[in-house]
Amino acid sequence: MATIRWKGYEWITEERWGQVHPEKSHWWYDESCVLIDNENNLNLMTKRNPKYFPGLNKTAVVGAGLVSCTGKFNFGVFKIVAKLPEGSNLWPAFWMWSWDTWPPEIDVLEGYSDSKGSYLKPRFSNPLGFWNAQTNVHYLNGSQSKMLGGKTHYFGFKDPSKNFMEYTVSWKKDKIEFYYGNRLVRTIDDKKILKQLSDTTMNVIINNGVTSDVDLSNPPHSNFVIKDFTYTPY
């Protein structure tokens, strides 16, 4: 595990519990896929880099860049300025989850490219949410983990894999607001969910990744470029 300094914060190059998720063992969090370039952009890449994990008795084929902030965050505005990676079956994300337990989790951005490398995915039920970039919230209902459900949003016609875009969440005690660009795209005001979030601090994570549909014989070499991360507390 490596540690980097970026935008005034300390980040580790894996999840705080390890390098690979047991249910997503086709890819792992590879520190060689994390690079800060000469313009101070954070580059989170994917590449073929097989690694055997004896605890799972499995080989994870794809290495992917992930950074996990060691800071503990509460109410405030969290924003990245980023260009989504180009390539097939990619899963870039900007999200946070509790230091105390899981859930709760706030997904500010989960992008999903298709087998042709496009984030364009028109839906009859949501014709304006044609970019496959989603918000979501996970929470605890009794003893079971639940989620509100991934939702796409209209945020213009610019391809998010070819243009830098802003992805923001405003987390207050009485509501959570998601913004893509300058557009308010989703508001969460469920008191039960907000109570779970108000009683904890959150771990911020930014990562590239691949979905289960990825071609492991020829995985994508991609780059999720993050120009900026800011946190403004309330």
Domain ranges (residues) in the chain: 70-233
Q: Long-range contacts made by residues 3-10, C-beta under 8 angstroms, separation at least 24? A: 4/34, 4/36, 4/67, 6/36, 6/40, 6/42, 6/67, 6/229, 7/228, 7/229, 7/230, 9/69, 9/70, 9/71, 9/229, 10/69, 10/70, 10/71
Confidence category of residue 171, pLDDT binned at 50, 70, 90? very high
Report the pLDDT averaged over residues 208-230: 98
Q: Which residue has the tokens 């989703």?
A: 186
Find out if CATH 3.40.640.10 is the number for domain 70-233: no
> What's the pLDDT score for residue 147?
96
Among 97-101, 121-125, 163-167, the least confident range: 121-125
Look at residue 161 and tell me whether its pLDDT is greater than 90: yes
Mean pLDDT of the chain: 97
57 torsion bin: left (phi>0), alpha (psi -120 to 50), beta (else) = left
pLDDT digits (tens, 9 = 90+) for 50-63: 999 999 999 999 99
Look at residue 78 and tell me whether its pLDDT is greater than 90: yes
- Residue 68 forms beta bridges with which residues? 12, 205
pLDDT digits (tens, 9 = 90+) for 26-39: 999 999 999 999 99
Q: E strands within the chain?
A: 3-6, 9-12, 27-29, 34-36, 42-53, 58-64, 66-69, 76-83, 93-98, 105-111, 133-141, 144-147, 151-152, 165-171, 176-180, 183-188, 202-207, 222-233
Rounded CA-CA distance 93/55 in Å is 26
Confidence category of residue 1, pLDDT binned at 50, 70, 90? confident
Taking the complete model, does pTM exceed 0.75, yes or no?
A: yes
Report the pLDDT averaged over residues 152-174: 97
